[in-house]
């Protein structure tokens, strides 16, 4: 998993200076942040719709959730790359949260 992220991140970095005519990722960087965010919005919606269908347990719908989630993660990684934020920072944030209950964290926030 982490190897895949490392490899993909490296490719995304290379694409920042690639020709938009020959690379989808370069075309997203070229179109700018708003286009990347638009794609994230689209993929998030498609993931939600696929997940609702997958409740039936039909295998093709379950495969669609996997494909749509991959699209969502991929475009989120493009956003991080566009902003110069390392995906490691996100992984570190998730690691920092190990053992911290979401309910406890929310209660601590509302006590502020």
For ligand PRT, the binding residue among 29, 54, 65, 71 (CB under 6 A) is 71
Q: How far is the CB of 54 from ligand PRT (least distance, A)?
A: 18
Tally the C-alpha atoms within 13 A of residue 87's C-alpha that lie toward its C-beta.
20
Q: Residue 44, Cα to own-chain centre: how many angstroms? A: 9
For position 65 contacting ligand PRT by CB under 6 A, the verdict is: no
Residue 81, Cβ density class (10 Å: 0-12 exposed, 13-18 middle, ≥19 buried): buried
26 vs 65, beta carbon nearer ligand PRT: 26
CB atoms within 10 A of CB 1: 5
16 vs 62, beta carbon nearer ligand PRT: 16
Query: How far is it, in rounded angstroms, from Cα 21 to Cα 77?
Result: 20
For ligand PRT, the binding residue among 6, 10, 11, 19 (CB under 6 A) is 11
Binding site for ligand PRT (CB under 6 A): 8, 11, 15, 23-26, 42, 71, 74
């Amino acid at each position: 998993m982490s190897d895949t992220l490392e490899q993909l991140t490296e490719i995304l970095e290379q694409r920042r200076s690639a020709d938009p005519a020959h690379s989808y990722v370069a075309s997203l960087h070229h179109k700018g942040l708003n286009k990347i965010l638009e794609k994230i919005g689209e993929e998030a919606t498609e993931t939600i719709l696929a997940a609702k269908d997958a409740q039936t347990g039909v295998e093709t719908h379950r495969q669609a959730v996997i494909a749509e989630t991959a699209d969502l993660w991929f475009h989120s990684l493009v956003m991080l790359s566009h902003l110069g934020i390392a995906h490691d920072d996100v992984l570190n944030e998730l690691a920092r949260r190990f053992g911290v209950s979401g309910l406890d964290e929310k209660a601590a926030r509302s006590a502020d």
